[in-house]
């Protein structure tokens, strides 16, 4: 690995960037990009750096981790050249899955899709079309073994209408992305478009978020909305929502794959 993405969260203090760049400079590393954010309310500092080692120099991982410890921070190091294995879990809806697979084929999503998992057989046709393995599960009891066998790094819930077991949620913490067809935190749970219709709201939306043990409560990654009015039927709202859902989901997946998301507690920092 001659490239590396660095994420750091620490209490805001003087000299953080200077100390980071000094280590990289002494190790003959070239900084390709640097982005930072300060949460003044929480006094937290967030930074993302993309770096490359020059010639035969190695990346200074140990020194960076030592710095993180001295700053009372948390650091994660990523290899941007490594393609993650992502499993797509769906039920019957094909639109968000098809969109992900097309964007993967066009190299918009830098990952491998080795398997589609579903509790119905409907999606097997889609897996055949893209030459991807398909696994039908009757319940979630064998889900962990299927994920393990396929060396899955990221789970994408593309309208998967089943609850993921807590042990898998814990194992894949901040590595399960769900698309909720509602503008969270409003209209959690089932049938959010119907809930929105009954309340007569003027906007509907979709939310991509990381999955936690609490239903629809995970850190939000991306959201989008569209305006509606009293003329729209539930069928109209669902159709409008489908386009938003697939766009929001693919943006969230791409940001995760590109290591542009820093998660702290219930909040995400997403760099451009």
Active-site residue numbers?
216
Q: Tell me the CA distances in angstroms from 16 to 31, 71, 215, one per residue in order.
A: 15, 8, 37
Structural Rg of the chain based on CA atoms: 20
58: number of CA atoms within 13 Å, CB side?
5
- For strands 84-90 and 154-157, give the pairing: parallel
**Phi and psi, residue 257, nearest 5°:** -65, -35
Full 3-state SS string of 256-271: HHCCCEEEECCEEEEC
Question: Given strand 176-180, what is the order of strands in its sheet?
Answer: 133-136, 111-118, 84-90, 154-157, 176-180, 203-210, 220-227
């Amino acid at each position: 690995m001659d490239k590396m993405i660095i994420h750091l969260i620490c209490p805001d203090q003087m000299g953080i960037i200077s100390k980071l760049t000094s280590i990289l400079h002494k190790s003959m590393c070239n900084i390709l990009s640097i982005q930072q954010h300060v949460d003044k309310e929480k006094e937290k500092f967030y930074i993302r750096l993309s770096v490359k080692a020059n010639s035969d120099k190695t990346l200074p991982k140990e020194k960076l981790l030592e710095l993180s410890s001295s700053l009372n921070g948390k650091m994660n190091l990523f290899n941007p050249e490594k393609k993650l294995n992502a499993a797509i879990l769906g039920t019957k809806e094909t639109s968000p899955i098809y969109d992900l697979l097309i964007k993967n084929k066009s190299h918009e999503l830098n990952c491998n899709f080795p398997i589609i998992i579903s509790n119905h057989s409907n999606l097997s046709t889609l897996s055949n079309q893209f030459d991807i393995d398909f696994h039908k599960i009757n319940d979630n009891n064998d889900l962990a073994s299927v994920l393990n066998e396929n060396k899955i790094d990221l789970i994408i819930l593309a309208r998967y209408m089943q609850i993921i077991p807590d042990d898998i949620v814990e194992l894949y913490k901040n590595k399960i992305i769900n698309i909720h067809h509602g503008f969270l935190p409003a209209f959690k749970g089932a049938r959010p478009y119907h809930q929105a219709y009954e309340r007569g709201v003027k906007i509907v939306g979709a939310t991509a978020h990381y999955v936690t043990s609490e239903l629809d409560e995970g850190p939000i990654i991306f959201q989008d909305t569209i305006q509606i009015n009293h003329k729209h039927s539930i069928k109209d709202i669902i159709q409008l929502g489908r386009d938003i859902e697939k766009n929001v989901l693919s943006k969230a997946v791409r940001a995760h794959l590109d290591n542009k998301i820093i998660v702290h507690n219930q909040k995400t920092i997403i760099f451009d």
